[in-house]
A and B are shown apart, each in its own frame.
Chain A
Amino acid sequence: MRSISILGKRIRPAWLLIAGLVALAAISAVFEGPRTVYAHAIII
């Protein structure tokens, strides 16, 4: 697993993955993801 080059800068894929996952978490909030998880967790 090597680093990849973006706009001439070498970057580790993990950083891209983290950025993507943070964006995913933000999108999930729009669709009430955390609220759904919470609602399920307290009625279990």
Chain B
Amino acid sequence: MRARRIAQVAGFLALNPYFQYFGTRVIYQGGAKYVCAPGFNCYACPLAAFSCPIGSLQHAFTLLSPKVREFKLALGSLLYVLASVGLVGAIAGRIPCGWICPFGFLQELLYRIPLPKLRLPRRINLGRYFFLIVVAALVPFITAQSWFSRLCPAGALEGGLFLKAVPPEMPLPPEGWFFWLKMAILASFLLWMMISKRPFCRAVCPLGAMWGLMNRVSLYRMAVDDEKCTGCGKCREVCPVDIDISEDPNSPDCIRCLACRPACQYGAISSGFRLPAEGLRPGRKVEGHGAAEAPMRTPPRPTG
């Protein structure tokens, strides 16, 4: 847990290292912006060093739009974004969601505020596929406008609010009703984050949707030994996205934060790059290097 917190702080600083902005008041324009960030981080944030993969994806669809018709550029950026996101996902699945993403980190911090909590239904997880296919792809293609980015709460926080607080050298456009609409969306999400576990990641995040699909095939695997699992539910209790890992160890909903591993007193959960590709089945033991990465002990089984 402590290692993950350190990784999340390091992830925030690694994706937002351009503190020179406070002196220059000019947004970073260096070579790192050729690279899509391994996390949901707005590239309108003055401190951001990398490109937002979802902003770039939408831009590719706006270029593809019948209103723009820049097919060559659209194809290039679409392939580049899909390859960038896909490579991270094929290696690690959703590990960046759990260990790097600054917006995910913010949600976990806000959830610690002692308020009455609201458990979300599982079907809300389908929302992020809607946002990926319809809002981040289809709508930009039809309207030639990046509507997800325009309404994104991460953009409103890291770009909109930050730029208002520390204005750039170039004057900002005047605040219209659209700015206040974005602020209202941001405020709603911030409130939601205080009462539900990582709601944006589960219901909205298109990047999480793409990486989640890669959980099924990625090199990094999760596995649950059905012989050791007692179904006590401790894993779900500590899970920041409220899933039961024993139901589906490589679920697209799992952000691979690995909080469940130390929480399982029976040592039933393991993970690593060398786990058997097909995962563990009832009655099978962990074999190979994966066992060394996640040493298991056999506790006395509950009786009675």
Report the bound CA distance from A13 to B221 in whole Å.
Answer: 13
Tell me which residues across on chain B come within 8 A of A3, comparing CB atoms.
Answer: 277-278
Tell me which residues across on chain A come within 8 A of B72, comparing CB atoms.
Answer: 31-32
Range, interface on chain A? 20 to 34
Report the bound CA distance from A10 to B78 in whole Å.
Answer: 32
Report the bound CA distance from A40 to B218 in whole Å.
Answer: 30
Interface hub of A14, A24, A29 (most chain B Cβ within 10 A):
A14
Tell me which residues across on chain B come within 8 A of A33, comparing CB atoms.
Answer: 75-81
Range, interface on chain B? 35 or more
Q: In the complex, are the beta carbons of A36 and B63 less than 8 A apart?
A: yes
Q: In the complex, are the beta carbons of A41 and B87 less than 8 A apart?
A: no
| Segment 19-56 of B: residues with Cβ below 8 Å from A | 27, 29, 31, 33-36, 43-44, 51-52, 55-56
Tell me which residues across on chain B come within 8 A of A22, comparing CB atoms.
Answer: 83, 87
Report the bound CA distance from A13 to B51 in whole Å.
Answer: 28
Report the bound CA distance from A21 to B51 in whole Å.
Answer: 19
Select one of B63, B86, B159, B277 contacting A1, CB under 8 A. Answer: B277
| Segment 1-44 of A: residues with Cβ below 8 Å from B | 1-3, 12-15, 17-18, 21-22, 24-25, 27-38, 40-42, 44
| Segment 49-67 of B: residues with Cβ below 8 Å from A | 51-52, 55-56, 59-60, 63
Report the bound CA distance from A16 to B294 in whole Å.
Answer: 26
Tell me which residues across on chain A come within 8 A of B279, comparing CB atoms.
Answer: 1
Select one of B56, B73, B149 contacting A31, CB under 8 A. Answer: B73
Interface hub of B51, B59, B77, B84 (most chain A Cβ within 10 A):
B77
Interface hub of A15, A29, A31, A33 (most chain B Cβ within 10 A):
A33
CB contact under 8 A between A24 and B73, given known A1-B277, A1-B278 = no
Q: In the complex, are the beta carbons of B83 and A21 less than 8 A apart?
A: yes
Report the bound CA distance from A18 to B85 in whole Å.
Answer: 11
Q: Is B91 an interface residue (CB 8 A)?
A: yes
Q: Is B219 an interface residue (CB 8 A)?
A: yes
Interface hub of B35, B55, B60, B86 (most chain A Cβ within 10 A):
B86
Q: In the complex, are the beta carbons of B80 and A37 less than 8 A apart?
A: yes
The residue on B at minimum CB distance from A14 is: B219
CB contact under 8 A between A37 and B277, given known A24-B82, A42-B27 = no
Tell me which residues across on chain A come within 8 A of B219, comparing CB atoms.
Answer: 12, 14-15, 18
Instruction: Identify the 7 closest CB pairs spanning chains A and B, nearest first.
Output: A31-B76, A33-B80, A33-B76, A28-B79, A28-B80, A25-B83, A36-B77
28 pairs, A vs B, C-beta closer than 8 Å? A1-B277, A1-B279, A3-B278, A14-B217, A17-B86, A18-B87, A18-B90, A21-B82, A25-B84, A28-B78, A30-B76, A31-B76, A32-B73, A33-B76, A34-B34, A35-B34, A36-B73, A37-B51, A37-B81, A38-B33, A38-B34, A38-B51, A40-B55, A40-B59, A41-B55, A44-B44, A44-B149, A44-B159
Q: Using a CB–CB distance below 8 Å, which chain B residues touch chain A? A: 27, 29, 31, 33-36, 43-44, 51-52, 55-56, 59-60, 63, 72-73, 75-84, 86-87, 90-91, 149, 159, 216-219, 250, 277-279
Q: Using a CB–CB distance below 8 Å, which chain A residues touch chain B? A: 1-3, 12-15, 17-18, 21-22, 24-25, 27-38, 40-42, 44
